[in-house]
Amino acid sequence: MEIVLAKHCGFCAGVKNAVDTAMSLECSNTYVLGEIIHNSEVVRQIREKGLKTVESLDEIPDECTVVFRSHGVPENYYAICRKRNIKVVDCTCGFVKRTQKIVKENYASGKHIVIVGEPSHPEVIGLLGWCNGDATVINDVSGDLGDSVQKELCVVCQTTFSAEKFDKIIKNIKKVCEKTVDVFKTICYTTVERQKEVEKLAKQCDAILVVGGLNSSNTNKLYELALKYCNNVFRLANADDLDYSNVKNFKSVGIVSGASTPNQQTREVLLKMEENTEVKATNPMDDVVAKIDNESKFKKGQTVQATISQATDDGLQILLPFSKKEVALSKDELDCETYNAADYVGKIGETIELLVVELKPSLKLSQKMIKVLQQEEALSAEIEAGKEFSVVCTGTNKGGLVAQLGTYSVFVPAKEIRPGFVKDLSKYEGKTLRLRAIEIKKSGRKEIIASQRVILQEERDARDAAKQEKEEEFFANISVGDIVEGKVERVTGFGAFVSVNGFDCLAHISDLSWTGAEAVTDILEIGKTYQFKVLKADKENKKVSIGYKQLQPQPWDLVDGKYNVGDIIHGKVVRIVPFGAFIEVEKGVDGLVHVSQISHERIETPSTCLNVGDEVDAKIIAVDTEARKMNLSIKALLPEGEKKRPQKTENGEEAPARRTRAPRRTEDDEVSSWNEGSIGGTSIADLLANAKNNK
């Protein structure tokens, strides 16, 4: 028979700390609140030592000592103990403390708490006390969330819960919930590792033995998981529960144990199997015995309980378990802001938890690294659950960017930097990257493979969706002819782009002024808000045209009352036609001087006396605002005796005076010729000058 022993056996760090702390305490007036761990053998040893186990604080007299086990307690228990002068020895697991903090902070922010776990488990009961009991507890996919599906949720998990089952529950929660769901996968990483190992062993072995207290949640989870992949799984509280006849015919047997199972119990199971038959262990039993019987043989990353024996200026001298030789602990490795030997003199004889940092060339221990690793593991759990994190890029390699996060190296493949191809990786060196984990490697070389692209793509998609929704709302509420208010954002040579309810609309330069504009800024000022009229709304092409001049009065609208018959105006000749000349009275308002109103003498054409660009004075002789016409007279301002300039022949000599009768022109002729093109003519500057001299 081949026996395959799981690599992860024995107490986890949190349980070991709780048991070691309890066993080191003075027994008089010391109580343990609830079973220190879910293992009857360990609980029996605690009681035999003299510690009393109670189920409530009411059973503990004032001014005594209470041990809070690794499962944690409700928040108000600490206040009750302070009020009654009960000294608290807090052995709450670091992972449980992190979950308590998450529950407290998110409950305070108004989110509804959902705890995934066994409702009767002490850890879950403790967590409820960090949100005033206002939480929903579920332990399977079909768990009813009730009215909480309409609220913003914060989901946490019992640290010993099944990782596979938790993932299924989360998928279901996200399907049915209507609002934001913040998920914190607070399962202890050692629990996850043990579950992965059980799955692997159950697939390759003919039978599995699961060793641990029958009321241990994490051990029961291992049992349930093994049953999924192996038909022959046996649950053992200890070696007495082993019936060898159940396993004697199997070629391979895997042995696993929960986080609250002492190595000693696993050792006893191995010994009992060895007594019955000759076995081949892939993880030799001698190694297990050595691990149990010789705790002084350490490995890197292991935590140990040490006793303070001396305090010097350089640090502490400590005694390790099963060793009489003192080991130096540098002051730089202590978890304190400023080291003062006098502060530790009174702590001689107390135990502290230390981390094995190095084995060679000499044993190096650290207290502060435990805190660093706890924070790092807590962060890695959040990152594994999908939380965004930031690092500074320290360099590049052929495949992408590299960085460091605590003891984890971070690698960002080139295709995961941003949407699209990145040609020059070096430009990201020294820049902060916003990342989400794709994969986390915790064994061997610790590495996080991450992506920035997924974050940027999600944000781009969200912006696009919000823009599309905004555009649809905009076009649903706008029509041609509407009067809208908009802010001028930018101008071009052909018009102005105006923001109307966040949407860019174009006001073409031709729609800014009735009299025309050489530049947009002659009419509109960037940054200012104006009213516009919607001229065109093209939903399909996402274009809206608006006009400014359409809300302004036209020049002819202001003529009535401003210009009256008999008024004298000063204007410029802008067009000459066969029947007269057009004078610009003001921008957008032209008046006609009929050829008969240019001079007292009859002239052949207006160009004989006038040129385009000449400035003249004229008298208003008729105004029709509806028809937008104004008739002017120059001769009305000239003396009647004024003669026109002599006309000349082709060779330049003065032509003899001739009296001719021009064809009689009717008013209809004048109207029909109103818009004919202009021709060149002779200036009447001399004529006007003579008129002034004769006055």
Cβ atoms of 130 and 100 closer than 8 Å: yes
Reference 558, options 589, 592, 527; nearest CA is 589
On the CB side of 656, CA atoms within 13 Å amount to 1
Pairing of strands 629-633, 615-624: antiparallel
Instruction: Output the DSSP codes for 334-377.
Output: SSSSS--HHHHHTTTT-EEEEEEEE-SSS-EEESHHHHHHHHHH
Reference 266, options 256, 278, 253; nearest CA is 256
CA 418/CA 393 separation, integer angstroms: 14
**What strand order describes the sheet that includes 364-366?**
326-330, 315-319, 303-312, 351-358, 364-366
Please identify every residue annotated as catalytic: 123
Cβ atoms of 175 and 141 closer than 8 Å: no
| Burial classification of residue 377, based on how many CB atoms lie within 10 Å of its CB (0-12 exposed, 13-18 middle, 19 or more buried) | buried
CA 658/CA 396 separation, integer angstroms: 100
Geometric angle at alpha carbon 360, from 355 and 365, rounded to 5°: 20
Question: What does the buried/exposed string (b/e) look like for 449-480 if buried means 16 or more CB atoms within 10 Å of the residue's CB?
Answer: bbbbbbbeeeeeeeeeeeeeeeeeebbeebee
CA 343/CA 335 separation, integer angstroms: 13
Close Cβ partners of 628 (under 8 Å, ≥ 6 residues apart): 556
Cis ω for the linkage preceding 578 (within 30 of 0): no
Structure tokens at 122: 């002490």
Pairing of strands 395-397, 432-441: unpaired
CA 9/CA 194 separation, integer angstroms: 8
Using DSSP's 3-state secondary structure scheme, residue 456 falls into helix
CA 648/CA 660 separation, integer angstroms: 16
**Cα-flanking dihedrals φ and ψ of residue 81, to 5°?**
-65, -40
Cβ atoms of 679 and 607 closer than 8 Å: yes
Integer CA distances (angstroms), 580 to 468, 484, 632, in order:
59, 44, 10
Structure tokens at 505: 């609309």
Reference 190, options 337, 31, 350, 374; nearest CA is 374
- Angle (deg, nearest 10), helices 163-176 and 189-204: 110
Geometric angle at alpha carbon 276, from 273 and 277, rounded to 5°: 90
Residues in the chain, how many? 695
Close Cβ partners of 113 (under 8 Å, ≥ 6 residues apart): 103, 106, 107, 131, 134, 135, 136, 153, 154, 156
